[in-house]
Structure 1
């Protein structure tokens, strides 16, 4: 376990191998329910918990499952975790559960969950698998929140509408009316708005990655020059 690079696991989940912006997985629920922040947060938290739970369970049984039944066993674990989350949401956030509808049970078919179980958890101990599931789930959740916030703001001029569906009566006054007397922009709330929003997020990430790569190249090109000056003058100028 000493050779596990938790920093790499974290960066892969949040940025370098983000399920939504790099792997482009789980797009159906991501695009369908991100009309508001509360919907995005509800689905994102559910997916995160399923990812962590399934990764841990797969890691526990990895030495006892043969290749012949590996994938069916993983799917059963994911289905069981999803059922638990579905029942909890029915019990404590029923209205939000009804809004999210079929997309909660469809977490079973989310390629991100099965992919992490097969690619990482089945080959690593419990703690790294739990961290991998958490960071992948967190990366997915962050994109959901950004997209949900963008669509809600552009579409309705508000943020954090109906947060009481997830956090109870104490969140009834969390709504922010960012744009007063806003007439709304229907395209942002409809599915095409989700595609446009996700495209902008991916484009933004690509621009940042390009600039970081150019900065690293410039730094690498300067290092030999600095070394030569040090050898020639004995000091850095």
Structure 2
């Protein structure tokens, strides 16, 4: 269980592919104009990560070291094609909205990086969990950044949810406020850079606060141990 816990912490926080590794920023910044767009791309990326990690782990002992990277890229491309066809069939309008960034998942460094750094060196159950944790961590950042931009730019949340979940999901749209003029900076690419910078800054602040609390706790434990030793 310790390995699963470590993989969860690494994927969701300490080694988050978007916040820490800063991988896959091109689609992350380009499509996160709404929550639904971010969630759609995040789920697609997670499925590719999960499938490619499992496959790479299964074939790792049969792939010659000299050609492992081309083989890994072919595996990733195969799963991207499967996800692309599924989205084309069942979520066509969302597929059109995401556009070229679905096939570009093949070039996402986070996916090839996990295949090379972890899946090719570990059993299938750990590789699968690593892909799932990294995918969820990446999706969370997509959704949070999309929520920030959609809220500031359009005053809504979950606009276009029916594109991903079906017609019934149109009721999920939340109109937080209305305005005569949209805040274009939040909707355009510069707003994505600013939002991402704020998320990274927030993570760094939280990490610093947690590190200070851990240091204070450790210091108190040491002081108590010294007092006990002196009394004895």
Q: TM-score range by the shorter chain?
A: over 0.9
For residues 106 and 116 of structure 1, what CA distance do their matches in structure 2 show?
17
1:216 — aligned with what?
A: 214
For residues 78 and 68 of structure 1, what CA distance do their matches in structure 2 show?
18
1:185-226 deviation per Cα after TM superposition (whole angstroms, max 9, x unaligned): 000000000000000000000000001111111111111211
1:145 — aligned with what?
A: 143
8 A contact 1:10–1:132 mirrored in 2: yes
Residue 63 of structure 2 is aligned to residue 53 of structure 1: no
1:74-106 deviation per Cα after TM superposition (whole angstroms, max 9, x unaligned): 000000000000000000000000010000000
Structure 2 residue runs without a partner (length 5+): none
Three-state SS of the structure 2 residue aligned to 1:173 is: helix
For residues 184 and 206 of structure 1, what CA distance do their matches in structure 2 show?
30
For residues 213 and 69 of structure 1, what CA distance do their matches in structure 2 show?
42
Between Structure 1 and Structure 2, the one with more helix by share is: 2
1:25 pairs, out of 23, 26, 32, with 23
1:182 Cα deviation from its structure 2 partner: 5.5
Q: TM-score, normalised by structure 1?
A: 0.95
Residue 185 of structure 2 is aligned to residue 171 of structure 1: no
1:181 Cα deviation from its structure 2 partner: 3.9
For residues 172 and 3 of structure 2, what CA distance do their matches in structure 1 show?
39
Residue 192 of structure 2 is aligned to residue 194 of structure 1: yes
| 4+ residue segments displaced more than 6 Å | none
8 A contact 1:157–1:182 mirrored in 2: no
1:180 Cα deviation from its structure 2 partner: 3.1
For residues 89 and 182 of structure 1, what CA distance do their matches in structure 2 show?
34
1:72 Cα deviation from its structure 2 partner: 0.6
1:217-237 deviation per Cα after TM superposition (whole angstroms, max 9, x unaligned): 111111121112333457xxx
1:131 — aligned with what?
A: 129
For residues 14 and 158 of structure 1, what CA distance do their matches in structure 2 show?
26
Deviates more, 1:90-99 or 1:171-180: 171-180
Three-state SS of the structure 2 residue aligned to 1:183 is: coil
1:16 Cα deviation from its structure 2 partner: 0.3
RMSD: 1.2
1:85 — aligned with what?
A: 83
Three-state SS of the structure 2 residue aligned to 1:172 is: helix
1:113 — aligned with what?
A: 111
